[in-house]
Amino acid sequence: MRNDTILVLARPGEPQLAMLSQLPAEVKTIVGDAAESFGQEATHANVLFNWSGSLALFKKVFAICPNLLWVHSRSVGLERTLFPELIESAVPLTNGAGVFSGSLGEFTLGAILYFAKDFRRMARNQMAGVWEVFEVSWASGKTVGIIGYGDIGRAIAERVRALGMNVLAVKRHASCSQDVDPLVTETYAPERRVEMISRCDYVVVAAPLTSETRGMIGEAEFAVMKPTAVVINVGRGPVINEVAMIGALSNGRIRGAALDVFDHEPLPTGHPFYKLENVLLSPHCADHTPDWLDNAMQFFIEQYERFRKGEPLRNIVDKRLGY
């Protein structure tokens, strides 16, 4: 019988920590929000779980745990998780990919309908007491291009295909004959993204933030977009060049944008996004369903069961690629 020690980086008292009681009785679980919280137990720990700790704390605790066999991050994005020592180590890292994908898929679908049916105009007229008849657009038959076709991208594709939309996708390794996704009409390599974007009515960014993806949607990409195109970002803010996007939105170069992520969060007071009529702004909470944290903790508990039994872990991160 193995006697694992799990260090959990979190503020003691967070509600979901009570779910750790589901772990086997012989597992020692220690929760803390400072490296000093773990004392000598850090030398015995073989699992490190970053639930809500900062990057600085994560790095500090990792350095005092010489016997780690597995590290898990609640977050899907890893720009605030990876650091050189972890990347260089042989310790496997997993993340919460897949836990939040469904709600981000629903947000994307909602954003598409928001612009297709011009819900902002409806709400504005209602509040002004104005009866104004106007035409709305079809979503069915339009083309959605997904930048970063991973788990979130697939969740988006499932939902928009059900609406009768056509799906194109950009992924690091374009589909080959033995790897065909029935949800996607055509897959493009990243260097062909401009070609794909020029065909799209909705451009959805679902890519992680890495050195390769930072700023990958910039002036060249906005220049080829249809004037009726809508950009939707559920990935990471800096994947889109914010200055270029503000210019495209302000000048009417594209129809609009629905944004859940930004370069700086919280979005600073007075930022142009707050006043642009063609922007739908979500304060990075598109996946904050009532059970999102419970689901994230349950995923870790299920992952631990795989670890305990020696079964393959899900969501093993390629630490050098950053996803």
CATH 3.40.50.720 location in the chain: 5-99+290-309, 101-281
Gap between the Cα atoms of 79 and 74, Å rounded: 13
DSSP states along 4-70:
-EEEEES-TT-GGGGGGGGS-TT-EEEEESSGGGTTTHHHH--EEEESS--HHHHHHHHHT-TT-SE
pLDDT tens-place string over residues 218-275: 999 999 999 999 999 999 999 999 999 999 999 999 999 999 999 999 999 999 999 9
Identify the band that residue 177 occupies on the pLDDT scale cut at 50, 70 and 90. very low
State residue 80's pLDDT score: 81
Pairing of strands 5-9, 28-32: parallel
List the one residue out of 77, 211, 206, 229 whose CA is nearest residue 154.
206
How many CB atoms are located within 10 Å of the residue 13 CB? Answer: 8
Please, which residues have CB within 8 angstroms of residue 193's CB and are 6 or more apart in sequence? Answer: 147, 170, 216, 217, 221
Give the H or E element holding residue 202.
strand 202-205
Question: Residue range 281-305: average pLDDT?
Answer: 97
Domain 5-99+290-309 in CATH 3.40.50.720: yes
Residues known to be catalytic:
236, 265, 284
Its pTM stands at 0.93
Name the burial class of residue 90, with classes exposed (0-12), middle (13-18) and buried (19+) by CB atoms within 10 angstroms of its CB: exposed
pLDDT tens-place string over residues 46-88: 999 999 999 999 999 999 999 999 999 999 988 889 999 999 9
The one-character DSSP state at 186 is E
The chain-wide mean pLDDT, for the chain, equals 96
Superfamily covering domain 101-281 = NAD(P)-binding Rossmann-like Domain (3.40.50.720)
